[in-house]
Amino acid sequence: MEDAFHKVVEHIFNNWTALQLAVEHSMGGPNSKQVAVQSMNYIVSYGMSEQDLESEDFEDVLEDIMDREFDTLCEDNSIAEISQLLYKFLQMIKKGNVEEYNVEYAKLPVRPQWITNQAPAPKKREEVPAPSGESAVEESMDAEDSEWTQVKSKKKR
């Protein structure tokens, strides 16, 4: 049940232009894409754990996420549309209407997937060869300090 809801939430978030623009413009900080993934996961767990949800409940949560996490106010009515879709699919899933879910899911627009729940591959150490006669530069990225780059110079004598 949760997998089916996660699938539709991911699909809807991938089609949400306002969220995509907020991420592309780093409105959620330097890790905006990760914030979007966390928001997507939160919506899934919220939908699966809360009882008696209405479309307006999703709308309130999405407005809060866009405002607090991305410093973005959506004035294009997209939050209301997305909330209605999330509510509709959640009701189909909870009632066990698999056929209706599949038919409605197939009707959703398809756009390139830019957000997924998969973690990026870890970065490997790189060595940059220096031109002959100049100092050698080595860049290394440790798994622990993946956001820091250590630069060492070695002079030939």
User: Which pLDDT does position 115 carry in this prediction?
Assistant: 84
How much is the pTM? Answer: 0.71
User: Which pLDDT does position 127 carry in this prediction?
Assistant: 42
C-alpha 37/C-alpha 40 separation (Å) is 5
Low-confidence stretches of the chain (pLDDT beneath 70):
118-157
CA 19, chain centre distance (Å) = 9
User: Which pLDDT does position 3 carry in this prediction?
Assistant: 93
Tens digit of pLDDT for each residue in 80-121?
999 999 999 999 999 999 999 999 999 999 888 888 775 443
- Closest by CA position to 39, among listed 55, 58, 57, 62: 62
C-alpha 79/C-alpha 19 separation (Å) is 10
